[in-house]
Amino acid sequence: ERQKNAASDFKRQFDCAPGALALVVGHNGQRLREIEASTGARVRCAQDPGRRRIRTGARVLIEGATRDAVESAAALVESSLELAKSPQQIVIPRSALGRVIGRNGERIKSVIERSGAQCRVQQDVDPCFVEIASEDPMTLQVAREMVLSFLESGLQSGTWDLEEACRAKAAATLAPHQARMLANLSSPLDPGRAALARQPVGREVVAEQMVDPYKFADQQWACARDAEGRLYYYNAMTGQSTWEAPPGFKAP
């Protein structure tokens, strides 16, 4: 009896929306099989569209003979389900932002048109980020893979740790061996959507031709007084204000 039940000594379960299961299962079950093969745990998925027994509509059940097997599989499942949450932010170094935006914005526009996701580029910080949003997990994944493919294709080895930067949120709580397992999982997209995400789109903005809108922001500081006569400083370009004089500021 002990041997009979050994495979299910440890268990974990995750409840999720039915659409999120595709990020765990993958095309034809490929991603799920990879999770099982790399961890040694058994992963089962169940849907309850009527939400009679499963409040969220779907459930992932993990069973295994060892705690490490189950916890490793749970980490991969949880990280996969994180990809279904909207909105998501993909971190991008400012020097590579042009490769994602494209000439005249054609690349970021193609992400919106091909995936159907909403996209917002935040470029007044460094590193910058692209925020993608959609109620459909697979739409999010197409947008995510398009952005990452633009980023990967333009970066030279050693200039940016893509795995660390773009998967940091998902892998923050993972042990090193679990992070490697996550990085080695195949895309959950079907071949058609995967090809759509990887299809080339236009040209990137050459770094030398990119115009940093905040390049001369340090020269746009001015001073004024508020209604109570207190002196403050403001930047006409960025809208920033401060009570302290900015470094190098010289009053006119």
Which residues in 9-19 are b (16+ Cβ under 10 Å) and which e?
Answer: ebebebebebb
Q: Crossing angle of helices 67-82/176-184, nearest 10°?
A: 50
- At residue 133, the 3 state secondary structure works out as strand
The angle formed by the CA atoms of residues 11, 13 and 16, to the nearest 5 degrees, is: 170
Two tokens at 46? 């169940």
User: What per-residue confidence (pLDDT) applies to 123?
Assistant: 84
User: What per-residue confidence (pLDDT) applies to 68?
Assistant: 93
What's the chain's length in residues? 252
Two tokens at 89? 């932010």
| pLDDT of the chain, 252 residues: tens digit per residue | 334 444 568 999 999 988 898 899 988 889 999 999 999 999 999 888 778 888 888 899 999 999 999 999 999 999 899 989 999 888 888 888 888 888 888 888 999 988 999 999 988 887 888 999 999 999 999 998 888 888 776 544 443 444 444 444 444 566 777 778 888 888 888 888 887 777 776 544 333 333 444 455 566 778 888 778 888 777 665 566 678 887 777 776
DSSP conformation class of 109:
H
User: What per-residue confidence (pLDDT) applies to 53?
Assistant: 83
Residue 24's contacts (CB-CB under 8 Å, 6 or more residues apart) are: 31, 32, 35, 43, 45, 60, 77, 80, 81, 188
- Beta strand 118-122 pairing with 128-133: antiparallel
Find tokens 């209604």 and name the residue: 227
User: What per-residue confidence (pLDDT) applies to 239?
Assistant: 60
Residue 165's contacts (CB-CB under 8 Å, 6 or more residues apart) are: 91, 92, 93, 127
User: What per-residue confidence (pLDDT) applies to 176?
Assistant: 75
